[in-house]
Every structure is written in C-alpha cells, then in structure tokens.
A and B are shown apart, each in its own frame.
Chain A
Amino acid sequence: MSGTRLARNEQINGWLFIAPSVLLIGIFLVYPILWSLWMSFQVGKGMNFSFGGFTNIIRLTKDPIFQIALTNTLIFLVFQVPIMLTLALLLASALNDPKLKFRGFFRTAIFLPCVTSLVAYSALFRSMFSNEGVVNKTLMAMHIIDQPILWTSDPFWAKVLVISAITWRWTGYNMIFYLAALQNIDRSIYEAAKIDGVPAWARFTQITVPMLKPVILFTSVTSTIGTLQLFDEVFNITEGGPANATMTLSLYIYNLTFRFMPSFGYASTVSYVIVVGVAILSFVQFYLARERSRA
C-alpha cells in the first residue's frame, strides 16, 4: 500500500506549502469580508452596536446623501469607462503602427500617469484647474471661453474634472493591455485584409476590436470595479464637493467610518452595495461578451 502512503505524503506536503498563504488570506481577506457582511446588519454608533436586521437597508432608501453618491458613481461609470477604453484602444492601435516614429517614447509617456504619485498628481490637477490655473488661462487665450470655468465649485465642471483626472491616470494602463494583445495578432491577418480591400476603419472595427474582445472585457470589468470604488481623485482633488456633487460611494463610506461619528454597520452596508453592483455589472458584461452560439 505504498502507493496510497505516497499520495498522502504528497497531500500533506501540498498543504504545508500553501498553508502560509491560506492562513494569511484567511486572516486578512476572508475574515474581514465575512465580518463586514455580519457588520452590515448591525446598527449603532462607534463600538456600541447591536443586530438591526434590515434597518440599514431601509436606511439606504431614505438617505439622500447615499442616493447622491450612488447617482454620482453611476454617472462617473457611464461616462468615464467608455471614454477611457475607447481612447485607450485608439491610442493602442495608433502606437502599434510600426511606421510611427518615437513609439517607445509615446508609449512610456502615456503609461506614466498611472505610476505617478497620487498625491502629487492631485495637487497638480488642483492647481492646473484652479480658477486662475493654467487650463483656464490657456482656454481663454485660445478664445474658447471668455470667462474662467469654475472647475472645483461648479457641480457639472467638478464632475468633468474628476472624469478627466481618472481618464488621464488610467488610459495608459489600459492601453498597455491592448498593445500587448495587438502584438499577438498575426500581422498577415491585416495584410490579408488589405488585399481583401477592407478599408482602414473596418479593419479596426471588424478585425481589431473583435480580436481584442477578451482583453476589452477584462479591462471593462476591472475599470468598472475601479470606478465603482472611486475614492482617490474625489478625496484629493474635490473632496466630494461642491455640495456633494462629486461624492462617491467609497468616499461616503470613508466619511461614515472616519469622518462622522463612526457608523461601522451602515458603512458596511454601503460597501456591500458596491459589491452587489460589481457583481451585477460584471455578470452583465460577461453575458454580453459571451461567445455567441452559432445560428
């Protein structure tokens, strides 16, 4: 029966190898997730809480700030993700052209924002988009506007500012995925298309885009998750203002937990709204991108 003993030894060895990571994941990932799920049913302030059943969920429906935060988050999602991914895709195909000079420079330049320090770039954006900032001055010098845009104090423009900031930061990151995928496409497919007389726009929409579908799905899911969790930019650039015009769910969770009298239970409930949102949207995206069964 040495065979079974060998198999058992291998099993024990296997578990020993993964035990450290299982332990760490359990303590720092699984436990907090389950604990926050439990917390989301608790009511109370600070460390005094008690089981409240669906009280927190009912509170969601009556909480105007939550509803503003949810709406804002969805607005950011609906506008920012498609704009960013389209931009990333166009840039990637442009930078994949072997005839383009300084490709390496452009690739690096467009990728750099996502590795720059968050605080530094936020400070820069704040100064650039201040009322007297370089953006307003430039636009006025070009006679595109005749009055400075109140980027941080107008609710509409504040949203535009946040969308521009995250687009600036994450477009290059997504572009890298597309570039990598593009480089895996056999060049002769495009040559065949050229000989087939397929015009450039159709080569892009009917060959490039379908062939990148798995990567597009991946980036759209990760970007959706990122935008639903949007916190950094609104916290650092607009602080959720003006008048909650750029308040997002994550920022609201932060405020509920650390700014106001801590309400851990309710904050957990709002967190789970994001979880459910991510789950639903990811499912929808996977469903839309599924391999169509043949007619």
Chain B
Amino acid sequence: MSGLKLRGVRKSYGNVQVLKGIDLDIDSKEFVVFVGPSGCGKSTLLRMIAGLEDITDGDIAIGGRRVNDVDPSKRGIAMVFQSYALYPHMTVRENMGFALKFAGVPKAEIEKQVQEAAKILELQPLLERRPKELSGGQRQRVAIGRAIVRHPQVFLFDEPLSNLDAELRVHMRIEIAKLHKELQTTIIYVTHDQVEAMTLADKIVVLRGGEIAQVGTPLKLYDDPDNLFVAGFIGSPKMNFLKGQLENERVVLPEYGNISFPASVSASAPQEVTVGIRPDAFDAGGSEQLPLKVEIVEHLGNETYAYGRLGSGELLTIATDNDRQVKPGDDFVARFNPSSLLLFSEDGQRIR
C-alpha cells in the first residue's frame, strides 16, 4: 500500500497562487510523471509531497496516511534532486549510507544495503570515490543509490536528467525504467521534457498554471487530448493547429481556400474552432487534401518532415512517409482523413 491521494492541494506564496487545487490519485507501484512548462508548479507539487514545502491548503496522503504535518524523513519517500545534492565531502559509500546511520541501522546492515544498491546501479568500483571524482551520470546513479538504500514507498525524481548530455539522458532514461521494473515501487517523476514523460510514465499528469490540464496514459494523452494545451504539449513535432469554422457537421478552413470536409461532431450554430492534426496523421491515401507550398524540409533518415503553408496560412508540419524527393519550393498536396482531426472550441476545450 504505497499509493498517494492528493485532495484540494493548494500552495500560495503571499498573494501568488502557485497551485490552485490539485486532486490526484496515484496507485501503488505506478510510474507517474508530472510534466508541464516551467512555472506550472510541477516541482512545487513534488516538493510538497516530499515535505520540503508547506501545504497551504488541502491534504496529501501517502499509503493511506495523511502526511501534511509529518517530517520529510518519516513520509516513506526518497528524493533524487536535479543537482544530485550529494554530500561533496563524503565518499560514494558514505553518501549512500548516511541516512541509515541516523535511522539507527547497525553498521553491518548499512554496509549490506549499500553493497546491494551499488550492485543494482553498478557503482561497486566507485564506492571510495568522492562526488567530484565522478562523471555526471555516475553522480546521478549515486543520488539514486542514496534513495534506494532507504527502501522508500515512493521515489521522487525532480528533473533528474536535465543536467546530463543528450546521449546520457537517453541511457539514464532506460536505466530508470529498468529500475522501476526491478524495485516495484511508486515513482513520481517531474520533467519539462515530454519525451521523457511519454517514454517513462504509466500515467502522465500535465500541469499548466498550477492546475491539472489532463491525467492519463501517454497514448491516451497523445491520441485523445482534452484540450488545446495538452494537444500541443504532447507529441513531437508539435500538432498542427488551423483556424476553422464548424457549421452543419462540416469544417471549413477559410485560410485554405474555404475547403471543407465532414466533421465528426455537429454544432447547432456556426462556431469558430481550432482544427488540430498531428504531422504523422497526414496520409497519402487520405480522402481530403490540402494544397501547400513547401518552405523547409528536414531529413531525419527514417522520416522526412516538410514544412509548408498555403498563402498566408499557418505553417504546417507534415510527416511525408519518408518522401525523400520533396524539396523546398515544391507544390505539395497533403492528404488526410477527416477522422484523424481533433476539434477544439474557442476556449481551448476539445469538442467531442
């Protein structure tokens, strides 16, 4: 039993409301990622779970126990910091065993725990080193090791990979995913990188401006976003957004020569909508077509992205099914099926 329950959690600094009432359930052994742009409150929320920030209002329960006023060390959590926060004057062994020393664990047991964690993280040859003698990835592993030895119910990760270079980040991402499989504990992970969120999470919590924009599995958020923000935030390259009008079960795109196609929803009165279509939703065999002039082409090897527009319209990103012949300046017809479009109302909510 190591799930979390957040009920009406708020945080204010003076008059500034950072978190505006968060309700969230996290199941035991779940890998949950808080994702959102900077300033959305995701780190603050994590720090409140950790007990490093006071809770202005609301309740946080870990494993069925309300922890609002429980000391951070007694909440059954362990945290990995963005800066690693290793004790610089201690060796790797001392860093990992430090918490146990104060928990009254006997020396032999500490040594056993440290060895065990070192084995999982392949840190054994480094146990006598100090943090400054380690590379970024090794420091990261020590920070994780320091968390593991405490056998927490919940691991908290605060942007743990953002100080690593791109290659190492991918590597550590896989390490963390493996670790979750091995340890079978609840993990809450904060990141601003939607790729990390998509690849690691069982459940993604998208935060925006101190509120939850949507909660769901990675594919649910990708395929079925609740609002414009989630649609634009999840997925790379970004979803295309076009101005359109919805009238009589048809969508009209005024910037694209008033072409129209059937909509999956109907509106009683004509209304302005935003039409969303993912770059990879364009399909050479689609029933509808958008004529474009290609401006930029990106060859990634396995995929070719064409960026084009019609007249003064929005610049669209199109995954071309790796059409390597397309060149800037070409006329290009992007085809799609109306069923792959998402419609959003003027206030940014999905129209289903």
Contact = CB atoms under 8 A, between A and B. Distances in A.
Give the secondary structure class of B's interface.
Answer: loop
A197 B88 contact: no
Q: 5 closest A-B pairs (Cβ-Cβ)?
A: A197-B73, A196-B99, A188-B85, A192-B85, A210-B89
Majority secondary structure, A binding face: helix
Given A196-B146, A198-B99, A186 B85 contact: yes
Interface in B64-98: 71-74, 77-79, 81-83, 85-89, 91, 98
Interface residues on A, range: 10 to 19
Most buried by A among B51, B87, B88, B150: B87
Given A195-B73, A196-B146, A294-B128, A186 B83 contact: yes
A198 B98 contact: yes
Contacts of B89: 210-211, 213
A10 interface: no
B102 interface: yes
Interface residues of B, number: 26
B333 interface: no
Contacts, number: 63
A84 B83 CA distance: 34
10 contacts: A186-B85, A188-B85, A192-B81, A194-B73, A195-B73, A196-B102, A196-B146, A198-B73, A213-B89, A294-B91
B98 A195 contact: no
Interface in A180-221: 186, 188-189, 191-199, 202, 207, 210-211, 213
B314 to A, nearest CB: 42
A89 to B, nearest CB: 16
A184 to B, nearest CB: 11
Contacts of A294: 91, 128
Nearest to A213: B89
Contacts of B83: 186, 188
B269 interface: no
A102 to B, nearest CB: 18
A192 B79 contact: yes
Contacts of A211: 88-89
Given A191-B52, A198-B99, A202-B102, 20 more contacts: A188-B83, A189-B87, A191-B81, A192-B81, A192-B85, A192-B86, A192-B87, A195-B72, A195-B77, A195-B79, A195-B99, A196-B98, A196-B99, A197-B102, A198-B73, A198-B102, A199-B102, A211-B88, A211-B89, A213-B89
B346 to A, nearest CB: 42
B73 A196 contact: yes
Contacts of A196: 73, 98-99, 102, 146, 150
Nearest to B81: A188
Nearest to B130: A294
B4 interface: no
A191 B82 CA distance: 12
B85 A191 contact: yes
A295 to B, nearest CB: 8
Contacts of B88: 189, 211
A194 B99 contact: no
Interface string B5-48: 00000000000000000000000000000000000000000000
A294 to B, nearest CB: 5
Interface in B92-138: 98-99, 102-103, 128
